[in-house]
Amino acid sequence: MHDPHLITITVNGTEHEVLTESRHTLADLLRELGYTGTHLGCEHGICGACTVLVDGVPARGCLVFGVQADGREVRTVEGLADGGELSDLQRAFAEHHGLQCGFCTPGFLMLAEAFLAENPAPTRAEIREVVASNLCRCTGYQGIVDAIEDVAGKRAGAADTGTSRP
């Protein structure tokens, strides 16, 4: 290593102490740690396939350096499922055919998770505006929008009845 930095990063609730070089991206670092759900597409921040949450905020893993994540909480697509149980958002993507080849799906899921945390009752127009920041060549976005809208409605219904969300 040319210029190693010892950093501490928490990924999906697990703390890691790791040596990384200044030039390595967060996406590279995550893959080195075994989190392979973060996909690298364009490596220029355009496609969104590498979207992860850094302290709850969507970030392009290819544009953030690993050293910038020192002391931060990072959530990847692997952190959505609860053990072997898919999250409500993951199930909705499958039910509404919001994925086809699956390459862009992790980025969309992380973007949607952060979006719904910020805006639990979005309009279809707001959903469309948010998902337009990520690229998908297969689905035409309709299933992605439908899935996010469905989850927003179900989460709102669960909140209204006082039940926990699935």
d(CA 97, CA 44): 27
Domains of the chain: 4-79 (3.10.20.30), 88-158 (1.10.150.120)
Residue 165 scores a pLDDT above 70: no
The predicted model gives 130-153 an average pLDDT of 94
**Beta-carbon count within 10 A of 84 CB:** 5
The predicted model gives 46-59 an average pLDDT of 96
The predicted model gives 148-156 an average pLDDT of 96
Residue 13 scores a pLDDT above 50: yes
**Residue reference for tokens 């950093």:** 7
Task: Write down the H helix ranges in the chain.
Answer: 26-32, 88-95, 105-118, 124-131, 142-161
d(CA 116, CA 155): 9
How many residues belong to the chain? 166
Joined together, the tokens standing for residue 132 give 């337009």
Per-residue confidence at 97, pLDDT binned at 50, 70, 90? very high
Per-residue confidence at 96, pLDDT binned at 50, 70, 90? very high
Tell me which residue of 53, 54, 25, 18 sits closest to 40, measured CA to CA: 25
Strand, coil or helix: what is 65? strand
Residue 163: its pLDDT value, please?
A: 58
Per-residue confidence at 94, pLDDT binned at 50, 70, 90? very high
Q: What is the pLDDT of residues 110-123, one digit of tens each?
A: 999 999 999 999 99
The predicted model gives 71-82 an average pLDDT of 96
User: In the predicted model, what is the mean pLDDT of the chain?
Assistant: 93
The predicted model gives 149-160 an average pLDDT of 90
